[in-house]
Structure 1
Amino acid sequence: MTTTPFEALACPLDGNPLQRRDGAWRCAAGHSFDIARQGYVHLLPVQHKRSRDPGDSKAMVAARRRFLEAGHYRPIAEAVGRAVLAQAPAGATLRCLDAGCGEGYYLRELARACEGAVGDDRALALVGVDISKWAVLAAARRQQAATWVVGTNAHLPVQAGSLDRVLCLFGFPVYPEFARVLRPGGELLMVEAGPDHLRELREIIYPSLKAPRAVDDTVPESFTLLSCETLRYAIELDGAEPIADLLAMTPHLHRASAEGRERAAALESLSVTVEVRLKRFARDT
């Protein structure tokens, strides 16, 4: 099974298809977006930014890269990979977007697993979109067999109906946009934190834990639920660095008090629960 870059990008200014030539992506109206030396393209207009440097910082990206590459979330990546390939016909090219790709871990793991499948005549066309330029830069440096884009889930710079799979893993779903870019019958794969996800860490950094939110089983408009599975396991973190990296890559870093962060920083080891829900939705035909 081979992997290739995804080509059906759209101009973020007028929605016209983009063509890649002469080191840039260009549309028929004359808008041009240079491809960076590292291989990514910036398709986030200033009017779509909420801050000067939106998304994860360089430090947060580095922390996430260290934590993920240590393999702590590999069972999640493997489950996502199985879901991506489920029901994919022989000989097909699956066009797959990771919406909020971060530093590209899940697309890299997907490509790695698929490239090891001897005799599989299917192909993957991959695109990762993230609002953080630091995350996209890190992704582009690690994998060239994908298209990497600085952009936003609210206005995906992708042509309508051009995707077979959309991944939203611990991200911010924008269901109307996901429905727009998926072909009819294409699939949306969501990974969401379960009620016990990182409970032991949260018990340390917060004075008390809020009651778990009620499970939201609402099916988004234009989609049909195909399946929902829970993945739960424990990880052992030895040393201060992986604990600090885990905290730095979550929203809890900014939500915790200074005292809570100090308690976490004093830890030398931590056993923590990973609990996520993986949902598969089909785009209605």
Structure 2
Amino acid sequence: MIARLMAPELQFLWGQPVIIENRPGANAIVATEAAARAAPDGHTLLLAAGNHTTNPAVYARLPYDTERDFAPVAVAALAPTVLLVNPATPYRTVAELVAAAKARPGAIGYATSGTGGVGHFAGEMLKQAAGVDLPHVAYRGTAPALQDLVSGVVPVSFATLSTALPLIRDNRLRPVAIATASRLPMLPGVPSFVEAGYAGFEATSVWYGLMAPAGLSPDLVRRLADDAAAVLRKPELREKFEAQACIPGDEGPAAFSERIRRELPLWEDLARASSIRVD
């Protein structure tokens, strides 16, 4: 969705076709490897997501080096992670959920889109911060996880707001806290994790960023970053992003590179402490 919203604007700016090629598989590893092996000529870019920095923590081997094989260009958007519960549950705050989990260790499971995803890391971060036992229930994708949350098979989930917002608006899911520094205008009644007393959860929001194969000239990286920033400043594009519950990005090459350097050891430490591993 992010790529398809940006592509027409970039195509107009560059005066040449922008082709989106989906390469699904292996938690984005298939697409990432293809981009790493592409010629560093500016004609192939990767739209990476937050799993770019979680994958090294959970996979024993990757067919590329997360830092060395890429030149970060720009963060295009952020999709906040949200803590969700089935409306039939009594949990309306993080404190209430934590209290219930402490009263019944191991009885309250949380669903995510799969092992090693950002939602999984968010759940493990809450478990460590609050000192509770919340079993992880891994699904094959966000849709089945949220479907079972709506039907009451599981009581709790961590997911991106962009995927959960329609169900929230239909009152089929209740948002408890959001992984942003402050509240969002689209959900003014939902506190941030910071307000709930848990700092650091902003890192669990999913970012989407443009990256080039390593070796691309710094001048061309800068030009691509400037062009992406110009497109992301357009009010009509920002409105489209926000309609999908995404926050337009504002990080260029330096800030994006720093984000990656900051996240890699964070997820490595959490994966080790929580025994998160994908074989």
Q: Whose helix fraction is larger, Structure 1's or Structure 2's?
A: 2
- Give the structure-2-normalised TM-score: 0.34
Q: Whose strand fraction is larger, Structure 1's or Structure 2's?
A: 1
Greater RCO structure (CA 8 Å; 6+ sep): 2
